[in-house]
Structure 1
Amino acid sequence: MVFPAPQKIEASKYISCKEEPIINLIAPKDIMEKRTAFGSAFSSSGNVVVTAEVIDSREYSYVNEIAKYTKEKYILNITGDESMIEIKACSSSKRGLWYALNTIEKLVEKNSFPIGQIVDYPLFQMRGLIEGFYGNPWSFSARRELIALASRNNMNTYFYAPKDDSYHRRRWRELYPEEELSQLADLVKFTDDVCMDFHYCIAPGLSMCYSSEDDFEYLKKKTEQLYSIGIRKFGLLLDDIPEKLAHEDDAKLYGETVNAHIDLINRYYNYLLELDGSIELTICPTQYHGKGNEYYISKLGQAIPPMVNIFWTGLDICSREITTYEAIRFIDNTKHMPLYWDNYPVNDAEMMNEMHIGPLIGREKDLYKVSRGLIANCMEYAQCTKIPLMTIADYLWNPEKYDSDKSFMNAIEANIEEEGREHFVIFADHLKTSCLKDNNSYIMEQSLSKAAAMLSGGDFLGAFAEVEAYGEKLFAAAEYLKNKNDGIYAELKRWKDKFIFCAEIFEQAVEFMNSGDEEVGKKIAEMNKKYNSEATVLTGFAFRAFIELILAGLDI
């Protein structure tokens, strides 16, 4: 199975190459150069001959099923046999060919080729990630890794907005020093090379005097510096700032905060269009969540140009669900389709003790019809972010066929070494506490619930066998994790350590079930008290209920 799932595969059969499949790519020179730099491997003697061509026609740019024109559609015509596969890849744009090559490389990786045709295109228009969390900003190498991962999974948008980049927020008036600007320029070029759009966000709201011409000049100068390194898409963030105007001059001129924000957005957008008519602007309002019919957001939306994107997080800051009904209400009141700033998998602020590694759920499959797109706010933990981000990419490309469980397993396979995947699944089962309200510790719960049912029916031996069987998986996973300290495991250290301790408590519980030794029971109680005092969030209700059941009746 290929992820993200293609929209349509018509195949008479599937063929595997007798020898290792290697791509022989015949494509425009710049695409070949960029794919090679991206890490793609090609050989002129390859047994998978791919001819990639840009053709500007209806067939490769219009989707009849949803009556939509898109430059991201591609078609693959696949023929051949076990000795040689031939693929004709066509799109109306080089970006479409990029996605075609992503799919072809995944077919090669699995050595499974559908003989027939693949017709594919995205359903969400803007699909991407935002580095918009509070905490340590990513390193530039981590940014490139995540942008490359997003690109490989058919995302098209990256928003640069780290709250703790001082030049983005606190020191927004100041120009970037030469070294930092050069690093940013390299990232802009890299993003473009991998067919992603780079959006730079500036957040002046903490200190800006909206009525000050000097402050507006600072904003223009900063924008011009960023424009000089190739940035053509900007974000103006007015989130997480005081609701009331802080400057007396602003209060006199505007009266209400919303009026000041309308004026700033309109002036800034007009300035951007004078600078370059192709520039795009996205804004984040001070009220960025709710029903979408409140005074501030309704007035602001109706007073700014329809071409300006409005970030919106849904009913809540971190929304459990995002529905088409909510989007329609937002459109009715603001006259804008929402661009969702989805606060998942981010785990900053009060969520800092949670690890959000589970798949995206709770977003309706037809949300693409009533939104500009969805941008995922990521975690400070760059390696951990990769797993949920891949599931988000799958949802955004093809929400109609999105299967969160299959997508999650694919993301684990892509990011976890083969010998550790089974153990990681047991570990990750306890890392799903988040705003999404996913069923944390589900695997454990299923096993312990079955054991509890046996116990209530008088089948103690059956209950013990069930607990012991799960315990063996838990112990094996904990043992494996003890020696894993690099990459994603380094980021997971707090949660890994607590998981290992959880396994130790569980081991004692199994011993107590077997022996009934009261001293073991007392030891479990002491360990459990220490476990519960640790703020790091891990297991769900199932583990707590199990330990309480074990200790029931002991005079502790």
Structure 2
Amino acid sequence: MNRTIRLCISCVFPMALILGGCDQGNPPKEVNVYPTPQEMDVSDKWIKIPEEGYRIESTETPDTDAMNLLKQSVPIAEQAQQAITIGKLDKATDEMQRSGAYTLTINSNGIHIGIYDDRSLFYAVQTFRQLILEGKKLPVCLIRDYPDIAFRGVVEGFYGTPWSFENRVEQLRFYGRMKMNTYIFGPKDDPYHRSPSWRIPYPEEQADNIRRLVIEARKNKVDFVWALHPGMDIRWNDADRQAAIQKLESMYGLGVRAFAVFFDDIEGEGTDAYKQAAFMNHLKKEFVDKKGDIQQLILCPTEYNKDWAKTDYLDILGKLLDPFIHIMWTGDKVVSDITCEGLQWVNRRIGRPCYVWWNFPVNDYCLAHLLMGPVHGLEKNTATDMHAFVSNPMEFAEASKVALWSISQFTWNMNGFNPEEAWYKACEALVPEAPDAFRLFCEHNADIGPNTWMFFRKESFNSDKLLTRFWQSLAAGTYLEKEAAEIINMFAQIRKAPETIRSSSANEQLIKEIGPWLTQTANVGEAGVEAMKMLELAQKKDTENCREAYRKTREALETTAVFSRPYRRGEQDGIRSGSQVLLPFIRNIVQHVENTLLTDEKPKEKAEVLAGSQAFDELSCFCEDDMVGLTPHFPLVTIAPGEYFGFRIEESKQPVALVYDLRKSKSKGRQFQGSIDGKVWFPLRQTGKDRLDTLRIHEPQTRYIRCLNKSQTEMSIGIGRFLVLTEPVAP
């Protein structure tokens, strides 16, 4: 799965010089370095690390952190015969004049490292550590390496439980290993970062933790960027300007030397572009310039994606903001692919390369899902169109590493980035004790589900074609025995993988984070095994045993629903696994058996659409084990006064709560209604949030749900989610 270049480096240096004294026995078959270097020439020869190790020869005092790392890798002794020489890059090309650029030459005469700065040496040593094979061998090689993007890393900017101190320490060490150099501290639920307490210094214990994190960041060559989020209640006056500077001053006292100010996800007075620009320029003049050692100053704007950029807001920022201040951007939407066209569009307006804030693998808008599949949607050849690239992760720090591994590859070497290869290697690196089981788990936990941003990722990508072929054949009347055997074996492996991961992996934090999804994945595997057994019996017309297998399959599906319910959070579902391919396939098999052999088991009533407007003629209804609703209809449609849309619930299910996410919809004149008989309607709640919310349903006999336009004017609505969470009707 590795695309590392393997060439004889005699094309770079004379063979005698490079290979003299090298062991030419059976060489290692493969050399892996991540992130993939820009240029890496490797011979088929290798050398043994001298038992006495190496002495260090350097024209300048080498970076302490890099040297500590090197000493952990090979013996270092003043009297050693062979040397590791460290020197400045000579006559470097433009790309080698970047922070972190380095060259690494390994041959029988010793090791030479060429560096641009301290980060260069640290990264060269990280590469060197990966080259050590079986603890005693090094490949003869020449590496010339540099980053494509100057600032690369992570923004902890999600809604939900912030990472713990221990999570953050491990993340910073991970960034150092993966050559990422930026960490932005901006969790939405940290009150001292955001309202109500952004003006107040951190309490002593939290302040001390930040001080320790800054030290850890420096050890790993990571800029610790602290973000202020004042826009929800800022008063554009001298008092708040001074309060902001005092807060930044307190963070400076903790060692922070890079800062950001977020004006995202706010309304009202705080969204004024002129005032934001003046505020930022004031911070630049009265704080940054006076300090003299501030590394970054970043603004997250209110209109931070193209979908929301409907005014001259960005143009104002572009004209008025000091060039030192960089502007963040999420893409065409809040959650979006990153493309050349999209970056160039915003860069023309802001007058500088944007600072990409990529909302992946963050899952605060789809909490039922883990986003652990390959990283797609990043267009190559975008390096010159961005100043920086940071990823917004999940609240699960360890689980986020699957995606962050790939993001480190993309931002370091775009042309060398392959999503599938990086994902494959990430799974192996994170759970080396059981990489195949972990890859299987991640493959079936990659779906985002229906969402307002129309951002989707493939799930079950290694089994989708098999399942589709089998189902299409079955629906046409042909049962494929060979494929059926493959599928039942596949589901058995899915059922087994979670326990293999739990019993094998030493990463306790990862297991804790993904624990519920491990259980749910096993539940789905069990349901798949039972469904395929049931189908086999149905093909044999064994009605009695098929009916017993049908009961077990329904129980297995109900187990997935019951397990999910306690994990529901607000408008979010509970725990979803295999939701894009596996569960729909299993439900199709159940319906096939109901329609062919066990016709008396077929539900007597199905959920159905209530389309009280021609605009919604194309609506369809879906029904799962613990929810009923309308399939998303993202395009905006207009409904007239008195028109509505909704659905009828199956009698076997009891509604618990209505979950809605209605794009561009305003609550004025809109009413959510319920009914027992479809004739007499009652309001579920008079008011709710404009776009998304969860409304409890207190009448258990409710069978009809709809959204009615009670106003006197037309109303535009897009349906991201409109569904009811359910429970089985009590016997």
TM (norm. structure 2) is: 0.68
Q: Does 1:102 align with 2:121?
A: no
| 1:375 partnered with 2:395 | no
Aligned to 1:57: 90
**Alignment partner, residue 295 of structure 1:** 312
Cα separation, 2, equivalents of 1:482 and 1:178: 38
Q: Deviations over 1:392-437 (max 9, x none)?
A: 101110011101111112111211142x221111111111123752
Name the residue aligned to 2:490: 470
Tell me the residue number matched to 1:363. 378
SS of 2:111 mapped into structure 1: strand
1:476 partner SS: helix
> Is structure 2 residue 223 aligned with structure 1 residue 197?
yes
Residue of structure 2 in register with 1:422 after alignment: 436
Q: 1:416 to 1:354 in 2, by over 3 A?
A: same
Q: What's the CA shift for 1:523?
A: 3.1
Alignment pair present for 1:437 and 2:468: no
Query: Normalized per residue, which structure has more helix?
Result: 1
1:253-308 alpha-carbon deviations (Å, 9 max, x no partner): xxx81222121111111112342234231011111111667411121122111221
Structure 2 counterpart SS, 1:26: strand
Counterpart of 1:78 in structure 2 is: 106
- Shift of the 49–451 alpha-carbon distance from structure 1 to 2, 3 Å rule, reads farther
Task: Output the CA distance in 2 between the equivalents of 1:93 and 1:87.
Answer: 18
Kindly indicate whether residue 537 of structure 2 is the aligned counterpart of residue 515 of structure 1.
yes
- AA paired with 2:554? A
Give the Cα–Cα distance (whole angstroms) in 2 for the partners of residues 22 and 150 of structure 1: 31
CA distance in 1, matches of 2:198, 2:81: 51
User: What corresponds to 1:313 in structure 2?
Assistant: 330
Matches within 5 A, 1:452-463: 452=471, 455=474, 458=478, 460-463=480-483
Q: Is 1:8 matched with 2:39?
A: yes
Distance in structure 1 (CA, Å) of the matches to 2:238 and 2:84: 55
- Equivalent position of 1:284 in the other structure: 300
Bigger CA drift: 520-529 or 386-395? 520-529
Structure 1 partner of 2:695 = none
Kept after mapping to 2: 8 A contact 1:31/1:94: yes
Deviation at 1:489, TM superposition (A): 1.4
Residue in structure 2 matching 1:42, options 70, 74, 78:
74
Q: Is the 8 A contact 1:293 1:333 kept in 2?
A: no
Q: Quick check: 1:537 aligned with 2:576?
A: yes
Shift of 1:114: 4.3
Please give the secondary structure, in 1, of the residue aligned with 2:380.
coil
Amino acid at match of 2:340: T
Output the CA distance in 2 between the equivalents of 1:478 and 1:439. Answer: 21
> Does the 8 A contact of 1:312 with 1:341 survive in 2?
yes
1:245-256 correspondence runs (5 A): 245=269
Distance 1:78 1:38 in 2: 15
C-alpha separation in 1, matches of 2:516 and 2:154: 25
User: CA 1:276 to 1:33, structure 2 compared with 1: closer, same or farther past 3 Å?
Assistant: closer
Contact 1:359 / 1:392 at 8 angstroms: preserved in 2? Answer: no
Q: Does 1:169 align with 2:194?
A: yes
Q: Can you give the 5+ residue segments of structure 1 that lack an aligned partner in the other structure?
A: 247-255
Amino acid across the alignment from 2:253: S
In structure 2, what is the Cα distance between the partners aligned to 1:336 and 1:272? 22
How far 1:361 moved relative to its partner?
1.3
Cα displacement (A) at 1:522: 3.3
User: What does the per-residue CA deviation read over 1:296-339, in whole Å, with 9 as the maximum and x for residues that have no partner?
Assistant: 112112211122110111111111x1111111111111102110
2:59 matches 1:26: no
- AA in 2 matched with 1:43: P
Matched residue type, 1:36: N
CA distance in 2, matches of 1:501, 1:38: 46
> 2:278 is aligned with what amino acid?
D
Distance in 1 (CA, whole Å) between partners of 2:152 and 2:106 is 28
Displacement of 1:124 in angstroms is: 1.0
Shift of the alpha carbon at 1:56?
Answer: 5.2
Match of residue 548 from structure 1: 587
Q: CA RMSD for the aligned pairs?
A: 2.8
Distance 2:161 2:581 in 1: 34
1:448 corresponds to which residue? Answer: 467
Q: What amino acid is aligned across from residue 360 of structure 1 in structure 2?
A: V
Tell me the secondary structure at the aligned position of residue 163 of structure 2. coil
CA 1:134/1:459 → structure 2, altered by over 3 Å: closer, same or farther?
Answer: closer
Q: Which has the larger radius of gyration?
A: 2
Q: 1:252 is matched with which residue?
A: none
Residue 406 (structure 2) pairs with residue 394 (structure 1): no
Alignment partners' CA distance in 2, 1:362 and 1:234:
28
Deviations 1:39-95 (A, max 9, x none): 933323799966151415333x633xxxx7313211111213xxxx83211112111
2:532 counterpart of 1:500 = no
User: In structure 2, what is the Cα distance between the partners aligned to 1:545 and 1:329?
Assistant: 39
The Cα of 1:228 is off from its aligned counterpart by: 2.0
Larger CA deviation: 512-521 vs 138-147? 512-521
Q: Which has the higher contact order (CA 8 A, sep 6+)?
A: 1
Call closer, same or farther: CA 1:547–1:459 in 2, change over 3 Å. Answer: closer
TM-score with structure 1 length normalisation?
Answer: 0.88
By how many angstroms is 1:532 displaced?
5.2
- Structure 2: state its 5+ residue gaps: 1-31, 449-453, 539-545, 565-573, 602-731
Report if the CA contact (8 A) 1:124-1:368 is conserved: yes
1:236 CA drift (Å):
0.9
User: Structure 2: how far apart are the matches of 1:515 and 1:402?
Assistant: 47
Q: 2 CA distance for matches of 1:298 and 1:310?
A: 12
User: Shift of residue 202 of structure 1?
Assistant: 0.9
In 2: Cα distance, 1:287 partner to 1:411 partner: 34
Q: Does 1:343 align with 2:363?
A: no
CA distance in structure 2 between the partners assigned to 1:22 and 1:290 by the alignment: 59
Task: Label 1:367 to 1:237 Cα distance change in 2 as closer, same or farther (>3 A).
Answer: same
- Partner Cα distance (1:218, 1:58) in 2: 47
SS in 2 for 1:287: coil
Instruction: Mark the CA change 1:549 to 1:208 in structure 2 (over 3 Å): closer, same or farther.
Output: closer
How much identity, in percent, do the aligned residues show? Answer: 25
What whole-Å deviation, never above 9, does each CA across 1:456-479 have from its counterpart, x for those lacking one?
A: 584532132222331332233144
SS at match of 1:442: coil
State the Cα distance separating 1:501 from its structure 2 match: 0.9
The AA in structure 1 aligned to 2:428 is E
Separation in structure 2 between the aligned mates of residue 107 and residue 395 of structure 1, nearest angstrom: 21
How much does 1:520 deviate? Answer: 1.3
Asked whether the equivalents of residues 47 and 107 of structure 2 are also in contact (C-alpha less than 8 Å), the reply is no
